Amino acid sequence: MENNGVNVAVVGATGAVGENMLKTLEKRNFPLKELKLLSSARSAGKEIVFKGKKYVIEEARPESFEGIDIALFSAGGDVSKQLAPEAVSRGAVVVDNTSAFRMDANVPLVVPEVNEQDLFKHNGIIANPNCSTIQMVVALEPIRKNYGLKKVVVSTYQAVSGSGAQAITELNTQNLSISNNEEVEANILPCKSDKKHYQIAYNAIPQIDKFTENGFTYEEMKMINETRKIMHMEDLKVAATCVRIPVAVGHSESIYIEVEKEGVSTKDIQDLLRNSPGIVLQDDINEQLYPMPLTSTGSNDVFVGRIRKDLDEPTGFHLWVVSDNLLKGAAWNSVQIAERLLELGIVGKSAE
C-alpha cells in the first residue's frame, strides 16, 4: 500500500472492537502519520501501547478531529451521532461501526468484498454493517453474482462478545459459579437495556436486541434490511432468527438460499467459494472438516462449509458460515474499508 501516511483517530479505543482495530492497524502495518486514541471522559488519561509507543487516551471532543484524515468509530451510536458530523466538518472521513447511520440513504453501507464501489458515493460517513450481516453477505455475494439469489433464510448462533466485553466476563463468571455450585447472576443478556436477564452459560437465548412490532428483533431486522441495501436488492426475500449462545467469540450461521439459475451443483458452489476473496472453504465431511468458532477466532476470513443441496427445492442450498465477529464482523472490516479508501485514491495523498 503506497502512501506517505494519513492521520487516523480511533474513537472507542478501550472497547473490545477498538482494541481489535488497533491490533489490526498494527498487524496490517497501516500507513499512519499520526494516531489519535479517543474515548469517553471516564477512560481519558489511560495509556495504550501501539507499536512499542505509549499513547495517552484523550476524551473525544469535536476539536479532537482537527487534521484527522480517517476516523474509525466504535463507541456507541449516540457518540457517533454526536461526533461523526463534527469529524466530517473538519475534513475527516468517518468509518462508523455502530448502527447510527447504516440505513441512512445518504450513507454507503460497505463490505469491501461485496460493494466497495459504494465507497465513491460517501458524503463523509461510511457505515460498517452489523457483524452477523457482514459474514453472510461475504459468503453469498459470489453465489449471487454467478447464479442469482432469490431467497435467504438464516439462523444465527452468536457469541456473547457481540454484547461487549462485559458479556464475556459474565459468561466466564457464570461458568465458574456453576462449577462451584454457587448461585448464578445474570445482568446483561439478552440485551443490556432490558429489565429481565437470563443466564447464558449452558443456555441459548433466542433474542438479540429488543423485539419490534412485527415479532422480529432489531438484530434480525438489521440482517434483513442491511443485506438488501449492501447487495442493492430491495426485493430480496430475507428472513432471520438470531440466537445468543455461550461462546465467547465467533458467530455461526445456518443459511438456506435459493438461487435463480437451475442446474447448479454443490460442487459448483464449493469451487466458486474456494476461489472467492475473503473466504476459506472448509467442507470435507469425510474428514469432519467444517467451520467452528474455536478454529475461526483470530482470523480475518469468513469460513464456509456444510454446503449441500436441499432435498426438496432444486435451486435450494444450505451453508454453514462462521467468522470472528470482532474482526471481520467489526474491526477488520472497518480497517479494510480504510485501506480501500487509500488504495482507490478516495482518501490520502493519491486523491489530491
Q: 181: which residues sit within 8 A by CB, 6+ positions away?
A: none
Catalytic site includes residue 197: no
| Grid cell digits, residue 285 | 465431511
Q: 286: which residues sit within 8 A by CB, 6+ positions away?
A: none
Strand order in the sheet with 151-158: 237-244, 151-158, 251-258, 316-323, 302-309, 279-281
d(CA 74, CA 90) in angstroms, rounded, equals 19
Q: 22: which residues sit within 8 A by CB, 6+ positions away?
A: 10, 13, 37, 48, 50
Catalytic residue among 122, 191, 251, 318: 251
d(CA 304, CA 282) in angstroms, rounded, equals 6
Catalytic site includes residue 131: yes
| Grid cell digits, residue 72 | 474509525
d(CA 286, CA 152) in angstroms, rounded, equals 27
Catalytic residue among 122, 131, 191, 242: 131
| Residues with a known catalytic role | 131, 251
